[in-house]
Amino acid sequence: MPELPEVETIRLFLHQHLIGKEIIKTDISVPKMFHGVPSELKNAVVKNTDRKGKVLTFVLQKQSRTSYLSFHLKLSGQILFASDHTQAVFPNKIPLANSHELPAKTTRMIFHFTDGSLLFFNDLRKFGWAKLSDKPEHPTGVDVLSADFTEEYILNKLPDTKRPIKTVLLDQTIIAGVGNIYANDSLWEAGIHPERPTNSLSEAERKCLYLAIKKIIAEGLKYKGSSAKDELYVLPDSSPGTYQNHFKTYHQHGQKCIRCGSIIQRTKIGGRGTFFCPVCQL
DNA sequence: CTGCGGTCCTGAAGGC
DNA sequence: TGCCTTCAGGACCGCA
């Protein structure tokens, strides 16, 4: 699922392809996924790209007006780019849900640019959204890649709560960008059990967790995100990321821990699948 | 404050 | 084979 490394990978790709392009038309087949007035996108030029947490934003300019088009891909969103129409349309095929043929049956929005290129927002589950507004629709927590995400922040600003640390890592109002994959793997990297009460973590453990989050998120980004079998995430050119080949615990239940050889366990915390090594995570 | 369950949605997987 | 049920999951909302 698209978390910080996946969304940042998409942003970096699109930054190379969309800057300076002007939107000429927008097709929206699932209106509830678009918040705002689609017609206001006409003649808007992409001036910049931005991201906070899992939210991707295009900075748009239309005459002297700046506006922001934000996207959340939730569980199954894809953003795909085609440099021209012929690459995008396969009219005689019935695309599968995870097909990269465009438009797919999961295509919910198409943004057309004046040079003929197109941007597709696909989302099998329709949980994702786009929002056109006068400000980015960004989460309030500190983004892992921002300068504000510091050791000091983790040491002093983690809430004094007995809620499980994994639940806190997934809270986008505290740390923005960490989702289920990278929360599980970061806790493994830090050697901390996901059910540990947050306020039970020692200073040394918090420092370790800080470094682990930075390291695991950086690794996810290095491999351009995770495109496991049951995930729909791909880059905008439909190529897969490869972080799934480097999972530490995520979906590794029943497999050996790559650090100590014990069997990775699966449980549920806050209703979400949780994976951990029962021996080297304390 | 906290956690829990329901909601959105769809396809895969499991049961018989 | 095929129908039916259950499940997964990010974020949010109402409720106890």
Which H/E stretch holds residue A110?
strand A107-113
Residues of A involved in catalysis: 2-3, 54, 272
At A203, give phi and psi (nearest 5°). -60, -45
Q: Is A271 buried (19+), middle (13-18) or exposed (0-12) by CB count in 10 A? A: exposed
Pick out the nucleotide with least CA–C1' distance to A170. C10
Of the candidates A10, A170, A139, A18, the residue with the CA atom closest to the CA atom of residue A78: A10
Q: What token pair was written down for A150? A: 């510091």
At A106, give phi and psi (nearest 5°). -95, 5
Rounded to an integer, what distance in angstroms lies between the CA atom of residue A215 and that of residue A180?
Answer: 16
Q: What token pair was written down for A160? A: 């004094």
Question: What residue ranges in A156-232 does DSSP mark as E strands?
Answer: 175-176
Rounded to an integer, what distance in angstroms lies between the CA atom of residue A237 and that of residue A235?
Answer: 5
Report the pLDDT value the prediction gives residue A88, as an integer from 0 to 100: 66
Q: Is the CB of A167 under 7 A from strand B?
A: yes
pTM of the predicted structure, to 2 decimals:
0.94
Per-residue pLDDT of chain A (282 residues; tens, 9 = 90+): 899 999 999 999 999 999 999 999 999 999 999 999 999 999 999 999 999 999 999 999 999 999 999 999 999 999 999 988 766 654 434 344 445 567 888 999 999 999 999 999 999 999 999 999 999 999 999 999 999 999 999 999 999 999 999 999 999 999 999 999 999 999 999 999 999 999 999 999 999 999 999 999 999 999 999 998 888 999 999 999 999 999 999 999 999 999 999 999 999 998 899 999 999 999
Q: Return the SS3 of A119.
A: strand
| Chain C nucleotides reached by a protein CB under 7 Å | 8-12
| Beta bridge partner(s), residue A62 | A65
Residue nearest to nucleotide B5 (CA to C1'): A271
Of the candidates A98, A77, A78, A103, the residue with the CA atom closest to the CA atom of residue A88: A103
A168 CA to B3 C1' distance (Å): 13
Measure the CA angle with vertex A148, ends A142 and A153; round to 5°: 80
